[in-house]
Amino acid sequence: MISKKYRVAVKRLLWVFIPAVLVMVVGVAILEGYVTYRMTRPPHTQLYGSPKDFQEILSKPMWFDEKWRNPDGTSSVAWFLSHGKPGPAIILSHGYGTNRSQLLTLSFELWKVGYQVLLYDMRGHGESPVNWSGLGTYEKEDLISGINFIKGLKDDSGQTLVDGSIGLYGIEMGGYVSLLAASQTPMVKAVAVDSVYPDFGHYVNYRLKSFLGSGNAMSRLADADVTNRLTGLAMHLYLMKRDDDGTASAATRTASGRRLLFIVGKDSGDLGQMTRDLYAVTQDQKELAEVEKTRLDRLYDKESADYDARVVAFFTSAIPVANPIPPGTRASK
């Protein structure tokens, strides 16, 4: 039989151990909840321009404010740059923590050569009426809704404005959802992505390390497998979303007849290697563009002009425009 002295010792040990475990579990739960909340609430950055700036220079109408409904009942807001006559379209998706004004110069360069251009604020960013981000889990459906929206736009005579193919461009999270949306939308014939990742799990780990910082104990904690699993579980519980929507890795491994451009730069960090890995497994016709700086950060002057020219060259080759305006030519008034 177990002695009374032994039973008392075990009880004392349990009284010490169990509260410590409970405190640790509760602490981890609180930390995961805080991290999840913060990651799905990116800091809102103010728009620093609009197509109105270009319209005033050209002295001609060229853009409209647009809005559409998403499958979950939320709305997306966008700028639509149009020539008022049928033509192919390009949809631009910005990255995490920024907004659509990040892509103003690129949208204008694409418009100048003849494309209809739609650039929108992803949920939780810019002027989106949604105050939280799905970190890519809801944004794919939002983008598909945007594709369906512009397909239904018509000119004054009732003719559809989007005539022909659609191209998608996206940065980081915007690039990820562009690859997913393209895999489910046959009308999309070309996709350009900047500093992208293969799946939700990789992005949560990347974003977690960005949130906790690098080169310290917290960053090492972010690399721990148990931390990744707990954070991923917390994200899915919070977002009420399942891993049944496919991944960018799976989408690129299947040949679809599309053309893809992968952009990677010295500032891409961990996303740079993820982008190269996706490029390596892609089965469709593909290009890899290596640049000094990507649009993960705001570009200026020559860097911005060179970057935009590379993207425009890709789309004009992949989705030709009827009677295009030669690059570098001023748009007519």
Q: What is the pLDDT of residues 1-60, one digit of tens each?
A: 556 665 555 555 545 555 544 444 444 455 456 666 677 788 778 888 888 877 766 766
Judgement on whether residues 268 and 299 belong to the same structural domain of the protein: yes
pLDDT of residue 7: 58
Domain end marker among 190, 223, 245: 245
325 occurs within a structural domain: no
Judgement on whether residues 111 and 228 belong to the same structural domain of the protein: no
What average pLDDT does the structure give for the chain?
82
Judgement on whether residues 53 and 32 belong to the same structural domain of the protein: no
Confidence of residue 220 (pLDDT cuts 50, 70, 90): very low
Judgement on whether residues 34 and 142 belong to the same structural domain of the protein: no
Judgement on whether residues 220 and 292 belong to the same structural domain of the protein: no
Q: What is the pLDDT of residues 116-151, one digit of tens each?
A: 999 999 999 999 999 999 888 899 999 999 999 999
- Residue that wins the pLDDT comparison between 184 and 28: 184
Contact present, 45 and 122 (Cβ < 8 Å): no
Judgement on whether residues 124 and 63 belong to the same structural domain of the protein: yes
Judgement on whether residues 153 and 274 belong to the same structural domain of the protein: yes
167 occurs within a structural domain: yes
Judgement on whether residues 53 and 170 belong to the same structural domain of the protein: yes
Q: Report the b/e string of 293-329 with b at 16+ CB within 10 A.
A: bbbbeebeeebbeebbeebbebbbebbebeeeeeeee
Average pLDDT over residues 77-93: 94
Statement: residue 79 has pLDDT above 50: yes
Show the domain range for 34.
Answer: 1-39+210-245
**For residue 89, what is the DSSP state?**
E
Statement: residue 213 has pLDDT above 70: no
| Those residues with Cβ within 8 angstroms of residue 249's Cβ, 6 or more apart along the chain or in another chain | 198, 199, 278, 281
**For residue 230, what is the DSSP state?**
H
Query: What is the share, in percent, of the chain residues with pLDDT greater than 70?
Result: 74
Please state the pTM of the whole predicted model: 0.83
| Those residues with Cβ within 8 angstroms of residue 10's Cβ, 6 or more apart along the chain or in another chain | none
Q: Which two tokens stand for residue 330?
A: 């001023």
The angle at the Cα of 245, spanning 172 to 207, to the nearest 5 degrees, equals: 35
Contact present, 62 and 54 (Cβ < 8 Å): yes
Judgement on whether residues 229 and 261 belong to the same structural domain of the protein: no
Q: What is the pLDDT of residues 158-180, one digit of tens each?
A: 888 998 799 999 999 999 999 99
Residue type, 254: T
What is the C-alpha separation between 200 and 173, in angstroms, rounded? 10
- Residue that wins the pLDDT comparison between 248 and 62: 248
